[in-house]
Structure 1
Amino acid sequence: MTDSAEPDTSSTATSAGITAERARVQRRTLTVVVISQVLGGAGLAAGVTVGALLVQDVLGSTSLAGVAAALLTLGSALTAFLVGRVTQRLGRRIGLGIGFVAGGVGALGVVLAATTAQVPLLFLSLFVYGAGTATNLQARYAGTDLATPARRGTAISVAMVSTTLGAVAGPNLVEPLGRLATGWGLPALAGPFLLAAVAYLAAGTAFLLLLRPDPFLLARRLDAELAKLDAVSEESTTGQDQSTAGPRPCPGVGAYVGAAVMVVTQIAMVAVMTMTPVHMRAHHHGLGEVGLVIGIHIAAMYLPSLVTGVLVDRIGRTPMAIAAGVTLLLAGVTGALAPADSLGLLILALALLGLGWNFGLIAGTTLVVDHTVPANRARTQGTLDVLIALAGAGAGVMSGVVMAGVGYEALSIAGGVLALLLIPVLLWARRVTPRG
């Protein structure tokens, strides 16, 4: 006869097994994410560094240089939507793998368009190339699928810091890649896109072949199993059926606040970053100096991530989001006050710009993950990244118009002031959702 007071050790053992499996697969997932993000970082650097310059050369107009960023981000928006939907149904492996492959195809199209001076093909290819940018950002979510809530910020940071190696190397290879391209009879500015094509295709292959088991699908299954165990345990304790209990199926306020943080920081960052190469070339800085400034900017976007993720986990999502707004304001003021021939101050401004974006993206992403559940998480993440991409597209288009009208200095200040407006929103949201 069994003693009814004896604890249910089978449920405990099963829960422990689920926890162990989650930890084991999480380690493998982060390894694959690191590999793909190193490659993906090299791919995205091409468009950031020379995209606006390439459009400027083909069209012969500074005011339309921002079209490059707009097309990249519009392509990114569509891809974010599609990757989110595909991931919700088929998992991270398929969604991210296809996204990176599309980005590689787009990069090859940019090379062909630059060589043949075909403007429609250039625009279409930049649009498709934007798929790589969206996928590179979406990959940060793969690190969170199996992470515990207390480690989500850190998991995001591992994915982002891995981008640093490729993203910093890319801009600093602009001149040698340009020489390689001209040696092959291609325009110099097409060189970085050759690297992007190889990098994105390799990143997509890494996801498709190595991301097994799929972390999103596994997390959804394990969460369902834990919910059943909790229901059985609760029923055995209270005698009531809890099988229908579960997390709220729709995103909470915190998810939308996280989206707002990411959208605003994206606008501020893209607007200033896009026009910095144009501003520098207009004041006789060479491609090597442009590559240095953008390389340091991208390093500041990703390299601090390991520290940022720990801070987001330890001191909170909201304080770090506020820090993003303040840092972006400092970046805008520095950029506005920097003499055009001062390489050092331009480096400082762009480094602060990247750091503020880093704070905002990790804090905002963690808020989104905190306030969604597997039943809607990938779909919601994709939808919110659409908003981020569209915000970047608008910023890219308007940055050229604003710079042509009132100058780089006014553009820098406007980006910083916009980011500072996040603070009252965040303070309000903290009262509504103390968890943030």
Structure 2
Amino acid sequence: MTHEPQNRSNSGDRAYVDSTEMQRKLYKRSLLIIVLSQIFGGAGLAAGVTVGALLAQDMLGSESYAGIPTALLTLGSALASLLVGRLSQRHGRRLGLAGGFITGGLGAIGVITAAQLNSVALLFVSLLIYGAGTAANLQARYAGTDLAMPNQRAKAISIAMVSTTFGAVAGPNTVEVTGRFATAIGFPALTGPFLLAALAFILAGVVLLIFLRPDPLLVARELAKNTILPSRLATDNKKPQINNNRGLVVGAAVMVLTQIVMVAIMTMTPVHMKHHGHSLGDIGLVIGIHIGAMYLPSLITGVLVDKFGRTFMSITSGVVLLFAGIVAAIAPPDSMVVLIIALALLGIGWNFGLISGTAIIVDATDPTTRAKTQGTIDVLIALAGASGGALSGMVVAHSSFATLSLVGGGLALLLIPVVIWSLSKRNIPASQNIPFN
């Protein structure tokens, strides 16, 4: 019964099994659709990052709780990651990702309503729902790899991620414009970015729902069943055990650590800046550059990961994040230049870790179980972000932004022993056995 939706879609996907040219064309077309959806998704992603903490601070009246919005939307992202992964596993990327984006758009509308009504309870619930858009935005990077050759996977991840840059950088820099628009129509100024987020997330979902056909994951699954593992699938129709467990652990650990460090420092930067007299425009500029650094280097990062390897780039991620923490800690509070450098390094370090970690995960999974596994791992990433966001406000309230930055930078160094452990007993990556197009 559980395989019925997959079987119905297989009849239309079988045409791609015997045609390498059709596979190549679908791979390029799928990437194009993902790029378009990510441009919109990036704009939606930026709202919670830029003004979520400020909105909570205004409504709750304390810096100690400024990290709560990031924690809630990342907790929502964790739950949504699991659901998007399961939905994608059963019905393909199209329904999974579109559902996540549209749900995130509804959450943004809820945040706007909560601010208008000054309802903290509704704000918290809406931020959880808004996290679904973040989950879809992050999981879209996997969709680009479904039909990629093993030596193209990091580049495919990069293409999906770099397209997020356009919307993600534009979003924070529209804080003042959208704030004025929100005020003009009778809403609090800080809801302006969430107005943009609601529209952007819903548009991203509609683009995927209409145009991501045939579904790349379902086609990849057909290729795996028909050209790679027929005998293994014939003997075990339930769940072929071909995942590389060590690779899953290492890839997950790399992404979890980079997420904790990045979210913790990023969350408190707007609060730190506002406390020292910076305007919303200044905050939007710093966060916009930070988000640009998270996504814009992706094309170069993908080439580096494919050329120099996942291990080298994972270690490099830890080193860059350490420097980001040090620079943030010593930055004069009134220096825009030094804060920009710190947040740019923070974004670059996260970019290196996410792409190298994602490539490790894709290498270690098979199309027949890939989406479910990836969704589960993204739950861990989201929970890591929730922890970083929640604890960051408490650390700053009881110590300082400099302490938070130094602790975060030091934590990033744990990436090095994790990667060394992965080298101590290397397994054969699943990707070497599954060249499925």
C-alpha separation in 2, matches of 1:411 and 1:95 = 36
Q: Specify the alignment match of 1:51 in structure 2.
A: 52
**What is the CA-CA distance between 1:21 and the residue it aligns to?**
2.4
**What is the CA-CA distance between 1:291 and the residue it aligns to?**
0.3
The answer to whether the 8 Å contact 2:17/2:226 transfers is no
Equivalent residue runs for 1:111-260 within 5 Å: 111-227=112-228, 248-260=241-253
Length-normalised TM-score, structure 1? 0.92
Q: Specify the alignment match of 1:319 in structure 2.
A: 312
C-alpha separation in 2, matches of 1:372 and 1:32 = 24
Aligned CA distance change for structure 1 residues 243 and 190 (closer, same or farther; 3 Å)? closer
C-alpha separation in 2, matches of 1:351 and 1:412 = 14
The partner residue of 2:403 within 401, 405, 410 is 410
- Give per-residue Cα distances to partners, 1:96-127, cap 9 Å, x unaligned: 01000000000001111111101111111111
Q: Specify the alignment match of 1:278 in structure 2.
A: 271
C-alpha separation in 1, matches of 2:287 and 2:325 = 16
* Corresponding position: 1:293 with 2:286: yes
**What is the CA-CA distance between 1:225 and the residue it aligns to?**
1.4
Equivalent residue runs for 1:80-99 within 5 Å: 80-99=81-100
* Corresponding position: 1:303 with 2:296: yes
C-alpha separation in 2, matches of 1:398 and 1:409 = 14
The amino acid of 1:343's aligned partner reads M
Q: What SS does the corresponding residue of 2:261 show, helix, strand or coil?
A: helix
The answer to whether the 8 Å contact 2:16/2:219 transfers is no
Q: Specify the alignment match of 2:374 in structure 1.
A: 381
- Give per-residue Cα distances to partners, 1:224-273, cap 9 Å, x unaligned: 111268x6xxxxxxxxx996599743442111100000000000000000
Task: Tell me which structure has the larger Cα radius of gyration.
Answer: 1
The partner residue of 1:333 within 317, 326, 329 is 326
The answer to whether the 8 Å contact 2:17/2:223 transfers is no
- Which segment drifts farther, 423-432 or 398-407? 423-432
C-alpha separation in 2, matches of 1:57 and 1:165 = 29
Aligned CA distance change for structure 1 residues 15 and 291 (closer, same or farther; 3 Å)? closer
- Give per-residue Cα distances to partners, 1:388-423, cap 9 Å, x unaligned: 000110111100000011100010011111011110
C-alpha separation in 2, matches of 1:267 and 1:74 = 13
C-alpha separation in 2, matches of 1:18 and 1:315 = 32
The answer to whether the 8 Å contact 2:244/2:427 transfers is no
The amino acid of 2:43's aligned partner reads A
- Which segment drifts farther, 423-432 or 127-136? 423-432
C-alpha separation in 2, matches of 1:24 and 1:32 = 12
Q: What SS does the corresponding residue of 1:146 show, helix, strand or coil?
A: coil
The answer to whether the 8 Å contact 2:111/2:122 transfers is yes
Fraction of identical pairs, as percent: 61
C-alpha separation in 2, matches of 1:28 and 1:142 = 12
The amino acid of 2:75's aligned partner reads L
C-alpha separation in 1, matches of 2:240 and 2:303 = 26
- Give per-residue Cα distances to partners, 1:25-52, cap 9 Å, x unaligned: 1011001000000000000000000000
The amino acid of 2:403's aligned partner reads A
Q: Specify the alignment match of 2:359 in structure 1.
A: 366
Aligned CA distance change for structure 1 residues 377 and 394 (closer, same or farther; 3 Å)? same
The answer to whether the 8 Å contact 2:77/2:134 transfers is yes
The answer to whether the 8 Å contact 1:300/1:352 transfers is yes
Q: Specify the alignment match of 2:69 in structure 1.
A: 68
* Corresponding position: 1:107 with 2:108: yes
C-alpha separation in 2, matches of 1:304 and 1:347 = 16
The amino acid of 1:370's aligned partner reads D
C-alpha separation in 1, matches of 2:427 and 2:301 = 20
C-alpha separation in 2, matches of 1:435 and 1:272 = 36
C-alpha separation in 1, matches of 2:215 and 2:97 = 11
C-alpha separation in 1, matches of 2:75 and 2:317 = 24
Aligned CA distance change for structure 1 residues 243 and 107 (closer, same or farther; 3 Å)? closer
Q: What SS does the corresponding residue of 2:251 show, helix, strand or coil?
A: helix
C-alpha separation in 2, matches of 1:432 and 1:206 = 44
Q: What SS does the corresponding residue of 1:418 show, helix, strand or coil?
A: helix
Q: What SS does the corresponding residue of 2:171 show, helix, strand or coil?
A: helix
**What is the CA-CA distance between 1:432 and the residue it aligns to?**
1.8
C-alpha separation in 2, matches of 1:34 and 1:173 = 21
* Corresponding position: 1:421 with 2:422: no
Q: Specify the alignment match of 2:26 in structure 1.
A: 25
C-alpha separation in 2, matches of 1:203 and 1:419 = 33
C-alpha separation in 1, matches of 2:17 and 2:98 = 32
- Give per-residue Cα distances to partners, 1:130-173, cap 9 Å, x unaligned: 11001100000000000000000000000000000000000000
Q: Specify the alignment match of 2:433 in structure 1.
A: none
Q: Specify the alignment match of 2:5 in structure 1.
A: none
